[in-house]
Amino acid sequence: MVFYYGALVVLACIGMKVSFKGFEREDALSMRTTNSLRGFFILLVMLSHFRDYCSPYKSTFDVLGGRISDELGQLIVVLFLFYSGYGVCEAIQKKGSGYVRSFPKNRILKTLLHYDLALLPFLMVGFLFYSGFSARKMIGAFLAWDSLGNSNWYIFAMLVLYAITWIAFSVFGKRKYLAAAAVTVLTIVYMFVVSKFQGYWWYDTVLCYPLGMWFSLFKTKIIPFVTRNNLVWLVTVAVLAVGLRYTHWVGRAIWWRVAEACCFALLVVFGSMKLTVHNRVLEWLGKHTFEIFILQRLPMKLLCKQGLAPHQVLFFAVVLVITLALSFLFRWLMQKTDAVLFKPKKTNE
């Protein structure tokens, strides 16, 4: 499996730009760069899930690939949460209260509807090839609390985070710092509650969402300070790198995990101010992360059942092609559905 990670690094190097003298202050958080990084990390997510369906590792290279996957752990999802929090806060500051009022329909309901549409093929596969599902499990699955063989925890977390954002900014309005503080506190409450029912991966990275919000609110001070000169940037990156390694090795308690996730998110953000990734393939993948995240396990399950898993290279290649094709078709379906259900209201001028 280590060769897959190597190929991914090579792919990321295509279109990579290094700024030796200056900094890419604006480009680091542009849609082009963030989508490219999303594409890179969604492939890491795919490799992590692919590992679950492979036959037991026999070669040294497979064992090494497994070690890389273990070391990365939940860090492969932290940028999705950070960018979501950052993007939402940026949109609220630009669009105002009207954007906040649209959250129940355009963020929460739309996300849940898209997720539920993606569940339908998993439901069909479950009844056609397996023993089916209980009514309780299906209800939980369509609320993203349970799974039909798909990935669900991230969707549930985002639904809750959107709801928290809507509540906080509805209550505090233009008092954006109080609203961000409320989002942070309510996210911690979510962590405490969900820890009673689900595994640690449901909540150990979610604070990266409010972290992205705080970064948005203070970016006019943070970015100029960190990019004042190469020395300040280097010291900042070094401190975050040391913090990342320390929190990774010092213990597995939840708050060490949280600190590790936050260090990693900031390390990538500041790192991308010197080293930017502009890759059309990764950018396309980054624009389709939702579909890829939800649908990738479907071909893995079906092809594994057909006995393709021992043929690792062929297995991954076919899974990748089918996942991308399904993602393209599902995006088309979502666009058609959104055009009917979420069509903007016409206003008389």
pLDDT (tens digit, 9 = 90+) per residue, 302-346? 898 888 877 888 989 999 999 999 999 999 999 999 988 887 655
The stretch 15-21 carries a mean pLDDT of 84
Residue 68, pLDDT above cutoff 90: no
Cα–Cα distance, 55 to 311 (Å, whole number): 9
Cα–Cα distance, 75 to 88 (Å, whole number): 21
Query: What is residue 31's predicted lDDT score, i.e. its pLDDT?
Result: 93
Query: What is residue 56's predicted lDDT score, i.e. its pLDDT?
Result: 60
* Sign of the C-alpha dihedral computed for residues 116, 117, 119 and 125 taken in this order: positive
- Would you say residue 120 lies in a domain? yes
Tell me if 33 sits within 8 A of 278, measured CB to CB.
yes
- Would you say residue 167 lies in a domain? yes
**Number of structural domains, the chain?**
1
Cα–Cα distance, 167 to 156 (Å, whole number): 17
Least confident segment among 103-117, 153-167, 212-226, 298-312: 298-312
Query: What is residue 318's predicted lDDT score, i.e. its pLDDT?
Result: 94
- Would you say residue 348 lies in a domain? no
The stretch 203-219 carries a mean pLDDT of 97
Range of the domain at 105: 2-340
Q: What are phi and psi of 18, to 5 degrees?
A: -110, 125
The stretch 274-300 carries a mean pLDDT of 93
Q: Which residues contact 5 (CB under 8 A, 6 or more apart)?
A: 47, 65, 68
The stretch 91-109 carries a mean pLDDT of 94
